[in-house]
Every structure is written in C-alpha cells, then in structure tokens.
Amino acid sequence: MIPIQDFLHRVRWDPEFGRGHLEIAYLDKVAGELVRVPFTEVRFVPGERFGFEIVGLHGESVIIPYHRVREVYRDAQLVWKRPEA
C-alpha cells in the first residue's frame, strides 16, 4: 500500500487517477469516529508537509494530519485503507 501523501498527490496531479467522487475518511479525535469529507473540500497549504486543510463546522480552517487519514473512497468504494497496527 502506498503512503497516503503519495496517494493524495497522485489524485491531485493525475486526472485519470483522480476521476470519480473521492472522499477521505479521517479519525476525528473529539468525536472518536471516522469523518468522511469530499476531496473537493481538501486544500493543500503550501509548505504544510504533515497534513491538509479542511473547513470545520464553524467555518474555521482545520489542519488534518496525514496520520489520521484511515480510508479513501472512490464512488463509494474503498480504494485505500491504512494498515492496522
């Protein structure tokens, strides 16, 4: 399995690989559950090497560390999953 950073960069820069409706599922530590966000809501901040940005429930910017990403879905099918430790 490729690292999540490499997977997301390929989605971002390879139009064929990035086709379809993509969702990223990350572990929300407060809720204690996986939260799925559409890839279209993910922003890559220049210089940020450890995560990506999303807009939170109250309109605030939130950085999600790559290590909290657990799954990626394409058209509702699981295409990437973090190996269990």
pLDDT of residue 58: 84
Contacts 24+ apart (CB under 8 A), 21-29: 21/74, 21/75, 21/76, 22/72, 22/73, 22/74, 23/72, 23/73, 24/69, 24/71, 24/72, 25/69, 25/70, 25/71, 25/72, 25/73, 26/64, 26/68, 26/69, 26/70, 27/68, 27/70, 29/68
Band of pLDDT at residue 65, cut at 50, 70 and 90: very high
Q: What pLDDT score does 57 carry? A: 74
Taking residues 60-73, report their average pLDDT. 96
In the chain, the percentage of residues whose pLDDT exceeds 70 is 99
Q: What is the secondary structure of 17-58 as a DSSP string? A: TT-S-EEEEEEETTTTEEEEEEGGG-B--TT--SEEEEE-TT
Instruction: Give the pLDDT band (50/70/90) at residue 59.
Output: confident
Q: For residues 60 and 39, give the distance between their C-alpha atoms in angstroms, rounded to a whole number.
A: 17
Average pLDDT, the chain: 93
Mean pLDDT of 31-56: 93
